[in-house]
Chain A
Amino acid sequence: MRVEPYNVEESIKPWSVFISLLAPCKGKVTLVLSLAASISLTELLSVYLLFLSIQTLLSPLPSTVDKLTWIVLGLVGAILIKSALSMAAYYFSHQVALKALTELRLMLVNCFAALSQKCLSKHQPEELKHVLIDDVKKLEDVISQHSVELVQAVISCLAIVIALYLIDWRLALSIVTVVSIARISSSLFMSKMASYQAKVNDAETELNSTFSDYVKYAPLTKVHDLDSQYFATLGNKADNYHDAAHRFVEQVALNRVLCSALLGSSFIFMLPTAIWLHSAELLTLEHVLLSMLLVMSMVVPILSVHHLLEEFSGLQDSIRRITPWYGNQYSLQKSAPQAIDLKYPQLQFYNVGFNYKQHAILKNVHFELRPHAINVVFAGAGYGKSTLAMLASGLISPSSGRVQLFGKDVSELSDSERINYMGVVTQESYLFEGSVRDNILLGRSGVSTAALEHAVVASQLKPWLQQQTNGLETQLQTRGDNLSRREKLLIAIARALINAPPLVIIDDADLAMDNYSHAKFYQALKGHYPNTTFLVFTCTYLGLENGQQINVLHNGEVISQGTHEVLLARCDYYAKGWQLQRSEGTQSSTLSTSQTPQASYEH
């Protein structure tokens, strides 16, 4: 037999992963395999019983009826045993699959958890999700269902060939010849098909992405009368795909035909051989009939082996995606451990630069935080504010220079070190489905009610909570979809404040101050957490008059530092913005003061 699955599996490297996946449940795997083997044997038994009944017809004896009755019973028994065995086989195979793959998933999840923040930034969440859900699911289907079917089919084929060999070796030879010819011819076409397949896949992805783009840009293109142009490209892509598919399909048709026709027509070799053997009186008529029955019952397993092998080879991609994670490659390599040394400044930027696709976002950012104070980084929108915030919290590492916390590179901090030394509020703070309390605590135990209350008050979350009927027990939707961005940010701030870390980094803080007195926001932070150093990123001037250390970031550089008054005198950029903000503020406030009395007068 040329159709041996394990040869295929071992020759390609991903299969070693596959096998090692199943290694922990070796006992059950062998059980499943032996069950599958016995299923095919009982299947053979029922064929043999059918043959026996034919035999009684060929040589009628008075006792035939009794014998037939026994055969009926035997057949029923065989079918029942077969079903019971397959049920058991499926049960165990499902167990094996689910156990192995739940473990795989857990391992992957653990592996992701062990990733450093730097590695994590490199991988898209979608990519990780795809590995964890879709790829593993595919593996699960294959192990739980197809593996049993495959083994069963292969053993059936083998058993039938052996049975034929026992009848006469020439019969077995004729069958093996047919099957090998079929395999060889189809594999000849397979190699050619692969390139066509690749072309079709390319055309398809291109078509799909063009289609998504078309839909995505539809508002833009329609308004600017470019729709027909884009649509023409889409049509071209569809035509390309059609052409590629057309050529591919012709090949597939050829392959299918050869394979199924050759496999199905095992008779063409078998029947003449049998007739010849019979005429040469090497074979009795009964044996000829038996061999025919055997050959007929072989067609189904051979075809299913063919299909299942295709399924198995489709698995390779999934396994290939899992492989890099499997080896636990990504476990943290500790490079030259720098110790945290309190004599160094708390957080310091040394000539930090950051490039994104050759576009320099930050250049020579150099400053250190003033301890136990509010440090503000003031920057216009799109001038590298978020990048600097991510650098400060170690989510990314700088292209040049260093960001150090007590003398240790921030991006090298372990999770437990980071939580000891800083609380971070990122722009997209993830909120879970659950209560506000759970979201703030984030599973941390041993937080006193007082500490929670403290954080809630300091983060300005209190007034909002008082409006909610359920207070802290208010339920949130996934990603906090039922909240405004401000409320989400406030929860995230409370989350970061709760264990009173020595350093708190807040990105996009102006959002938290929307509709609220800005000065009060800073005062609350300072008043409730006097020993904490804050690094706050903002783009509004409101509330900055109260003597914080302000670093002005403009075009990726820190152009000036100092308190509000100093900057007004020293930094033109800062002063200009301040003037603009003030004029707008006075404009609206004068209007409102002049209008409000009038309104009340009318009532």
Chain B
Amino acid sequence: MDRQTITSIFRVFKHVEEGKKRYVNGVLFRVVAGCLSISPLVLCFYWLYSELRTTSDENVLFMSLSGYLIVLVGLFFMQLVCAYLGYSQSFIASSQIIHAYRVKLINHIKILPLGQINQTPNTEFAKQINQDIKTVEHGLTHIVPNLLAVFIPTVLGVAILALISPLYTLGVCLSVMSALYVMRIAKNKFAQMTKEKALSDNQISRTVTDYIEALRVLKLFSQSCHWLARVEKQLKINKHHSLQMGLWQSSSALAYRIALNMIVVLFVAMLAVTRPEQSVLTIDFEAIIYALLLMQILCPLYGIDKQFRALRTAVQSEQNLESWLGKPTLTEPVKAHMPKRYSIKFERVSYSNGIDQGIEHASFYVPENSVTAIVGEVGDDTSILLKLCSRFVEPASGHIKIGGVDIKDIGSQGVFSMLSMVLQNAQLIDASVMDNIRIAKPDASNEDVLQACEQANCLEFINQLPNGATTQVGDKSIRLSAHQRQRIAIARAFLKNAPIVLLDETTTSFDPITHNDVASATTRLMKNRTVVIVTHHLSNIIHADNILVINEGKLVESGTHRCLLSIGGYYTRLWRAQSRAA
């Protein structure tokens, strides 16, 4: 157990309230049980002692066979009780601790800015967190108590040994130390090895992924045999790596065991060395006891190297989770200031997630009930402005104001209540179409929902679904296509009837009729609302009141369509590129 492990355990403890005391109790009981497991040996010595010295000593209490049996059974039950208490207390406590830890983590994730979570693909993020919690749980439940329950009795045993014979104990200490040292060296040395192995594993998994995902295409071109050879080659290389790695791993385990086994060798060697000094014909009682105790101490130490490895991964997982727990959360105001008007103002806003281009010092003003479009080339992440506006991410510097009030003072809930968002890849929950739209306004009547559908030009396709508006949709049942989902999102926006609308319609291309349906619904939605729209299709936004042009993270131009074309700058270039296409 090194410092990292201890800090990890304490960090976990710091995050939880209940269960800590219980856990410590449990571990203590485990340790006591471990110590008790040495006790039969003590009895054994007692017997030996009485057996070997019957003639001379009067003080020795003679115990009958049944006496031994009773004492042994008594000890056994004590051990049983201690072990039971230890196991159940530590298990229950650690499940409590992990539960509290999980709840804390979930609560923290709840108040993280949405953009933070969405940086990694959703499913992977959730998977990683679950995996990490599980590893930490395993470490806390099994490994830490196990290691303590092995180590402390060992230390106790060594202490007893030291009382019996300090000289021999020196040997024991020496070889235990060297065994631990071997393990340490192995750990450092094989970090490198593990990395190489991980690389080769990665390679193989990439090849296999490639192969399986591409299988359909390969088969379409009747080329699967050719690729089989590739996979085969990769598998062979991986085989070589794995063999090497496996051997190194087992040899390190073996080295550890050899070092441990040296305890016995050293002991016998010392016997041989010290023997001549003693009187030749007395029985060396101490040495015999020593020999027996040695075995008892040695046994539990064998399995430790594996547990250390598991502990290390648990510590890594804990560090990963801690990094999430350490992420700054959104600050919410104590009392929300709701603005009276719905203009939007950006004041020198900068943001960067370190990967993409980000935004530098963007300042602009969106008057109430006007339409502002944001355009840029495909590489520019223009939709980040929408995310900033809706508090999905926090700006690194600068202020965003709605109706003159900073959105930090409005609070996330307040901001969300004022705006509707129609994003690319609108999400559906696993429910009926009706309920999917109703989430925008849970108390809306069926008529309201249907009216919203009509305004969003949804009714036509909804009526074609097998059960109309009550059809179950979502990932688990019928999947809707991109434009259908987008129209459902528009229907939600109609139902919510929020004063601000944020639209993100970048890449999707539809056939003219669908396009027209969606466009007319969108136009209807934009009426009498403050609208910010992000798009790559310039023909959609020629009527916008103001167009902001973003290039390489900077706001380069703004104005109406005609005005921008008259300048003949970056926007004109974009426009020409697109109209040549048409």
Residue of A nearest to B106 (CB): A234
Residue from A120, A252, A257, A577 in contact with B80 in the complex, judged by beta carbons closer than 8 Å? A257
A495 and B221 contact, CB distance less than 8 A:
yes
With contact pairs A218-B114, A268-B73, A292-B292 given, residues A395 and B223 touching in the complex (Cβ less than 8 Å): no
Residue from B228, B239, B303 in contact with A110 in the complex, judged by beta carbons closer than 8 Å? B228
9-residue interface stretch from B87-95, B346-354, B360-368, B398-406: B87-95
Docked complex Cα distance between A253 and B85 (Å): 9
A432: B residues at CB distance < 8 A? 210, 214
A-B contact pairs, 23 of them (CB 8 A): A58-B283, A65-B276, A68-B275, A87-B247, A117-B216, A208-B127, A224-B416, A250-B88, A261-B79, A264-B79, A267-B72, A268-B75, A271-B47, A415-B220, A419-B222, A429-B217, A442-B218, A444-B223, A478-B210, A580-B513, A588-B579, A599-B567, A599-B572
Residue from A53, A246, A540 in contact with B512 in the complex, judged by beta carbons closer than 8 Å? A540
9-residue interface stretch from B187-195, B265-273, B447-455: B265-273
Answer yes or no: A31 CB below 8 A from chain B CBs.
no
A380: B residues at CB distance < 8 A? 510-511, 513-514
Answer yes or no: B59 CB below 8 A from chain A CBs.
no
With contact pairs A382-B483, A510-B509 given, residues A91 and B106 touching in the complex (Cβ less than 8 Å): no
Answer yes or no: B198 CB below 8 A from chain A CBs.
no
Residue of A nearest to B229 (CB): A443
Residue from B83, B220, B465, B577 in contact with A515 in the complex, judged by beta carbons closer than 8 Å? B577
With contact pairs A250-B88, A442-B223 given, residues A50 and B83 touching in the complex (Cβ less than 8 Å): no
Answer yes or no: B151 CB below 8 A from chain A CBs.
no
Docked complex Cα distance between A271 and B67 (Å): 12
9-residue interface stretch from B3-11, B230-238, B308-316, B545-553: B230-238
A595 and B565 contact, CB distance less than 8 A:
yes
Q: Which of A400-449 touch B at CB < 8 Å? A: 415-416, 418-419, 423-424, 426, 429-430, 432-433, 442-444
B80 and A261 contact, CB distance less than 8 A:
yes
Answer yes or no: A548 CB below 8 A from chain B CBs.
no
Q: Which of A301-351 touch B at CB < 8 Å? A: 304
Residue of B nearest to A541 (CB): B512
Docked complex Cα distance between A278 and B65 (Å): 11
Answer yes or no: B392 CB below 8 A from chain A CBs.
yes
B198 CB to nearest chain A CB (Å):
13
B73: A residues at CB distance < 8 A? 268
B83-115 vs A, CB cutoff 8 Å, 1 = contact: the mask equals 110011001100110010011001001100010
Answer yes or no: A95 CB below 8 A from chain B CBs.
yes
Answer yes or no: A75 CB below 8 A from chain B CBs.
yes
A539 and B511 contact, CB distance less than 8 A:
yes
A581: B residues at CB distance < 8 A? 512
A113 and B219 contact, CB distance less than 8 A:
yes
Docked complex Cα distance between A459 and B539 (Å): 27
B288 and A289 contact, CB distance less than 8 A:
yes
B272 and A65 contact, CB distance less than 8 A:
yes
B496: A residues at CB distance < 8 A? 224
A553 CB to nearest chain B CB (Å):
11
Answer yes or no: A523 CB below 8 A from chain B CBs.
no
Total of A-B residue pairs, C-beta within 8 Å: 411
A296 and B250 contact, CB distance less than 8 A:
no
Docked complex Cα distance between A440 and B123 (Å): 32
Residue from A86, A208, A540 in contact with B130 in the complex, judged by beta carbons closer than 8 Å? A208
Residue from A246, A272, A359, A443 in contact with B226 in the complex, judged by beta carbons closer than 8 Å? A443
Residue of A nearest to B211 (CB): A109
Answer yes or no: B326 CB below 8 A from chain A CBs.
no
Answer yes or no: B355 CB below 8 A from chain A CBs.
no
A426 and B220 contact, CB distance less than 8 A:
yes
Answer yes or no: B334 CB below 8 A from chain A CBs.
no
B392 and A219 contact, CB distance less than 8 A:
yes
Docked complex Cα distance between A187 and B429 (Å): 45
Answer yes or no: A358 CB below 8 A from chain B CBs.
yes
Docked complex Cα distance between A48 and B437 (Å): 79
Residue of A nearest to B265 (CB): A75
Docked complex Cα distance between A250 and B93 (Å): 11
With contact pairs A249-B92, A514-B581 given, residues A576 and B513 touching in the complex (Cβ less than 8 Å): yes
Residue of A nearest to B39 (CB): A267
Q: Apart from A94-B243, A358-B466, A381-B510, what 17 extra A-B contacts exist at CB < 8 Å? A: A71-B272, A79-B261, A99-B239, A231-B106, A238-B99, A242-B96, A253-B87, A265-B76, A296-B299, A382-B482, A393-B220, A416-B222, A419-B221, A442-B221, A444-B223, A514-B581, A602-B567
B122 and A215 contact, CB distance less than 8 A:
yes
Q: Which of A563-603 touch B at CB < 8 Å? A: 573, 576-578, 580-581, 584-585, 587-589, 591-592, 595-596, 598-600, 602-603
With contact pairs A87-B251, A120-B215, A584-B539 given, residues A418 and B222 touching in the complex (Cβ less than 8 Å): yes
A53: B residues at CB distance < 8 A? 268, 271, 291
A293 and B292 contact, CB distance less than 8 A:
yes
B299 and A94 contact, CB distance less than 8 A:
no
B442: A residues at CB distance < 8 A? 226
Answer yes or no: B55 CB below 8 A from chain A CBs.
no
Docked complex Cα distance between A357 and B474 (Å): 13
Docked complex Cα distance between A584 and B250 (Å): 71
B281: A residues at CB distance < 8 A? 60
B224 and A113 contact, CB distance less than 8 A:
yes
Docked complex Cα distance between A542 and B68 (Å): 99
Answer yes or no: B576 CB below 8 A from chain A CBs.
yes
Docked complex Cα distance between A267 and B296 (Å): 12
Answer yes or no: A23 CB below 8 A from chain B CBs.
no
Residue of A nearest to B511 (CB): A539
Docked complex Cα distance between A260 and B221 (Å): 59
Docked complex Cα distance between A359 and B114 (Å): 35
Residue from B68, B88, B258 in contact with A253 in the complex, judged by beta carbons closer than 8 Å? B88
A105 and B235 contact, CB distance less than 8 A:
yes
Answer yes or no: A102 CB below 8 A from chain B CBs.
yes
Answer yes or no: B43 CB below 8 A from chain A CBs.
yes
A510: B residues at CB distance < 8 A? 509
B220 and A293 contact, CB distance less than 8 A:
no
9-residue interface stretch from A126-134, A164-172, A527-535: A126-134
